[in-house]
Structure 1
Amino acid sequence: MTPQTDPQAGAAVKAADRAHVFHSWSAQELIDPLAVAGAQGSYFWDYDGKRYLDLTSGLVYANIGYQHPKVVAAIQEQAAHLTTFAPAFAVEARSEAARLIAERTPGDLDKIFFTNGGADAVEHAVRMARLHTGRAKVLSAYRSYHGGTQQAVNLTGDPRRWASDTATAGVVHFWAPYLYRSRFYAETEEQETARALEHLETTIAFEGPGTIAAIILETVPGTAGIMVPPPGYLAGVRELCDTHGIVFVLDEVMAGFGRTGEWFAADLFDVKPDLMTFAKGVNSGYVPLGGVAISGAIAETFARRPYPGGLTYSGHPLACAAAVATIGVMAQEGIVENARDLGASVVGPGLRELAERHVSVGEVRGVGMFWALELVKNRETREPLVPYNAAGEANAAMAAFGAAAKKAGAWPFVNMNRTHFVPPLNVSESEVKEGLAALDAALTVADEYTER
């Protein structure tokens, strides 16, 4: 699809947006959203015909890229057949989506509760855990993100929680492993695993094991920094949960459906949770869909006891048809394998080569098509390129980095002092190299803000 120029139409779109659209996570008068004219594959473009390689996959959800013809056709076909229907009925698209998801989930997560997105999936996973255990508290990690609804944002361990945190959500936060900025003075992955597990075990003991319903972790934290957990950590959390009768919830909203080079990130660690949340990549975001995959033991709790929760659009036929088609496309086109192979052979080596040449890069980390560059002012002290939760002038270095990437033709994922490399999973090798070249140009700008 060739971008067409129509600045007048773009101006009208922008004017209507600025007059009427209230944007999330934003001071409304301080933002300048790009008017998007179209998208195809790994690219999108504006009304001036400027094309960008999307290194963000939207919000890390367009796993099969934009406008995949087979998924578009499936949505059109479903709309012609049965556009919508209430969730209490058995509907072919819903049943098939649930079957295909359950086929791929680890362990016995064979029951699927559909939601409209990731945040409400987390809300319902917590509710299920509390009802199953009869306990109230939930433990979650700092440096995490679980969604913007009330319970989910209180589980979140970054500044987006602060404005909504009234300390009444029954949430206790703890430190998860992050060797580059270890809270445990660790020098090796083995030390980080052991000390992080000891910290969690102590937290459980002092909070009272009998009061804790669940521990929730992003299998690989996403927005917080793509910190792949060190060997043995998730298995150790699983063991602690088993010891104390705590429900282990893995949040795979961002990491799931191929992002890490496996269908689910849990497969990287051979860990089986009791509940697992998903959304985003399940249908590449083409129609909003999320859900909770439920183990046999927790499903049994509600076999003869009604589950007190539901959504009007749970398992919406259009969304489920998109999921069926997306999973089919991913299997037929080897998209999960592409993420795994290109991540190992091109993305990882390419990012590490950039790190060797740019003093602003403190660490490269990731797996599959899920990578982060941690940008620093000083490599020796590891001082972040911008302060934690920086805004305005304090964030000038990252703003300059982002502007340079866009000028080079790539739309970057920027969060605090990091940029994430998270393009669609079916990105080509040549597109990856194009993205690396754009980052090279942007990092040259970031280097100017360092203490050399």
Structure 2
Amino acid sequence: MSPTRTALAVPTTNAEVAALDTANVFHSWSAQKALKPMAIAGGSGSTVWDHEGRTYLDFSSQLVNTNIGHQHPRLIEAIKQQLDTLTTVAPAHANHTRALAARKILSHAPSTMDKVFFTNGGADANENAIRMARLHTGRDKVISRYRSYHGNTGAAIVATGDWRRIPNEYSRGHVHVFGPYLYRSEFWAETPEQEAERALQHLRRTIELEGPQSVAAVLLETVPGTAGILLPPPGYLEGVRALCDQHGIVLILDEVMAGFGRTGDWFALDAFNVRPDLITFAKGVNSGYVPVGGVIISEEISATFDDCVFPGGLTYSGHPLAAASIVASIEAFEEEDIIGNAALIGRDHLEPGLASLADRHDVIGEVRGRGVFWALELVEDRQARTPVSAAFMGKLKAELLQRGLLPFIADNRVHVVPPAVVTPEEVRQALAIYDDALTAVS
């Protein structure tokens, strides 16, 4: 059979792609008439380019998910091989690729974890983790943080703490608390230890006043990502684990953004003395090459459903193309030491480089992060810590794009989140672009 030429192969311009897109595609989190989408035609490693040949360093990793970089040949080959073998299969059947993907994930998870439930992404991973916790405990309430994002499905968006929750509050039994954020402390803390202690007391009192017997789960991003890349202070996560143990509450750690190399570890939780009951993942597990996510389940919770039917499932749970990309991704992580590269880049290049930027630009109020997961919090005044305006951030974004860097902008922050395969030279180029752009707008 001769190959068939499709519309995908027709050359086009950025303007044509943008016009076709805005005329036909309904975009998320957007007022549709205000859209001016950037056209991206291709990518490789830490670089993307448009239809007219202009290249950009991708320091957004798209939505902080292309941890292995764009177009990694190992993943592409694995997907092609799976296409030739079996393109899809119902989740009720046993499938070797799916089983291998689960085993690969479990090999890097805590030893207390037993099985993997596959979903289509991070939101429905959190959705199903909440369902498991409620069924396991027989309780209803879920405690999460105001500074958080857990996805855009029924329970996940209500567990989310930011503004996107408010127009979508259709799910029941959700309670929010403040987590630690020393730079803008809700607890008048002056040290990381004070912030951890007082945030834990706030959580403790919330559990007590809500009724411990009614709380099914505490759901936390190990390192809140969209909310600002907020590293937990010493003792905080361990204290949350102790509170959950005291009251028989399931601890769910959301590693959708922070997992699979983003922090320079396999999971962000690896840097802390904490073992959750459920771990949710997506994004970095296969860099979004095929949509996939999942829940890593502890032995205790898995056993709950040995003789009791789990009332949940998805048509594409453990889709073989996604599973093949997971296997190839984890093998590449292992054999190419991509996790080690992320740790080295963070320690030896991003941390000192971003600190140097802060020394030169008073608009940078705080630098925080780990691995390839960093944030610059921008302020009008360092003493008052007043956030810069949306107009300032818009100008900064335009300056960064003009200089060939695709940024991740959130509120008054620039999130510095390149792929975990980024090179020292690419970091050096990016730091120079951040420097020039900040100079231009300041």
Report TM bin, short chain: over 0.9
Paired with 1:352 and 1:204, the residues of 2 have a C-alpha distance of 38
Cα deviations by residue, 1:196-248 (Å, 9 ceiling, x for unpaired): 10110011111100000000000000010000000100000000000000000
| 1:171–1:445 Cα change, 3 Å | farther
Paired with 1:230 and 1:107, the residues of 2 have a C-alpha distance of 24
1:9 shift after superposition: 3.5
The match for 2:422 among 424, 427, 452 is 427
The match for 1:360 among 363, 384, 395 is 363
**Aligned Cα root-mean-square deviation (Å):** 1.1
- Partner letter of residue 13 of structure 1? V
- In structure 2, the residue matched to 1:262 is 265
Cα deviations by residue, 1:96-121 (Å, 9 ceiling, x for unpaired): 00000011112411200000000000
- Partner letter of residue 311 of structure 1? L
The match for 2:156 among 146, 152, 159 is 152
| 1:94–1:8 Cα change, 3 Å | closer
The match for 2:308 among 300, 305, 308 is 305
- Partner letter of residue 69 of structure 1? P
Q: Tell me the SS of whatever aligns to 1:377.
A: strand
Is residue 2:288 matched to residue 1:285?
yes
In structure 2, runs of 5+ residues without a counterpart are 1-9
Paired with 1:122 and 1:7, the residues of 2 have a C-alpha distance of 40
- Partner letter of residue 440 of structure 2? V
Q: Tell me the SS of whatever aligns to 2:113.
A: coil
- Partner letter of residue 146 of structure 2? Y
Q: Is the 8 A contact 2:114 2:302 kept in 1?
A: no
Cα deviations by residue, 1:153-211 (Å, 9 ceiling, x for unpaired): 10101111111125x52100000000000000000011001111011001111110000
- In structure 2, the residue matched to 1:436 is 431
Q: Tell me the SS of whatever aligns to 1:362.
A: strand
- In structure 1, the residue matched to 2:122 is 118
- In structure 2, the residue matched to 1:383 is 386
Paired with 2:365 and 2:255, the residues of 1 have a C-alpha distance of 27
Q: Tell me the SS of whatever aligns to 2:342.
A: helix
Is residue 2:133 matched to residue 1:129?
yes
Cα deviations by residue, 1:262-296 (Å, 9 ceiling, x for unpaired): 00001000210000000001111100010000001
- 4+ runs deviating over 6 angstroms: none
The match for 2:92 among 66, 88, 91 is 88
In structure 1, runs of 5+ residues without a counterpart are 1-5, 387-394, 448-452
- In structure 1, the residue matched to 2:187 is 184
Q: Is the 8 A contact 1:107 1:272 kept in 2?
A: no
The match for 1:413 among 408, 412, 415 is 408
- In structure 1, the residue matched to 2:5 is none
Paired with 1:442 and 1:177, the residues of 2 have a C-alpha distance of 31
- Partner letter of residue 151 of structure 2? G
1:11 shift after superposition: 3.0
The match for 1:341 among 327, 341, 344 is 344
Paired with 2:316 and 2:111, the residues of 1 have a C-alpha distance of 27
Give the paired residue count: 433
- In structure 1, the residue matched to 2:172 is 169
1:8 shift after superposition: 4.2
- In structure 1, the residue matched to 2:55 is 51
Paired with 1:11 and 1:439, the residues of 2 have a C-alpha distance of 27
Q: Is the 8 A contact 1:402 1:414 kept in 2?
A: yes
- Partner letter of residue 116 of structure 2? I
Paired with 2:69 and 2:12, the residues of 1 have a C-alpha distance of 27
Is residue 2:210 matched to residue 1:207?
yes
- In structure 2, the residue matched to 1:222 is 225
- In structure 1, the residue matched to 2:398 is 403
Cα deviations by residue, 1:116-142 (Å, 9 ceiling, x for unpaired): 000000000000000000000000001
Paired with 2:87 and 2:365, the residues of 1 have a C-alpha distance of 50
- Partner letter of residue 85 of structure 1? V
Cα deviations by residue, 1:330-383 (Å, 9 ceiling, x for unpaired): 111110000001100100000000000001100000001100000001100001
Paired with 2:352 and 2:365, the residues of 1 have a C-alpha distance of 15
Paired with 1:58 and 1:93, the residues of 2 have a C-alpha distance of 27
Cα deviations by residue, 1:382-427 (Å, 9 ceiling, x for unpaired): 01112xxxxxxxx210000101111111011000000001000010
- In structure 1, the residue matched to 2:6 is none
The match for 2:297 among 291, 294, 297 is 294
- Partner letter of residue 360 of structure 1? V
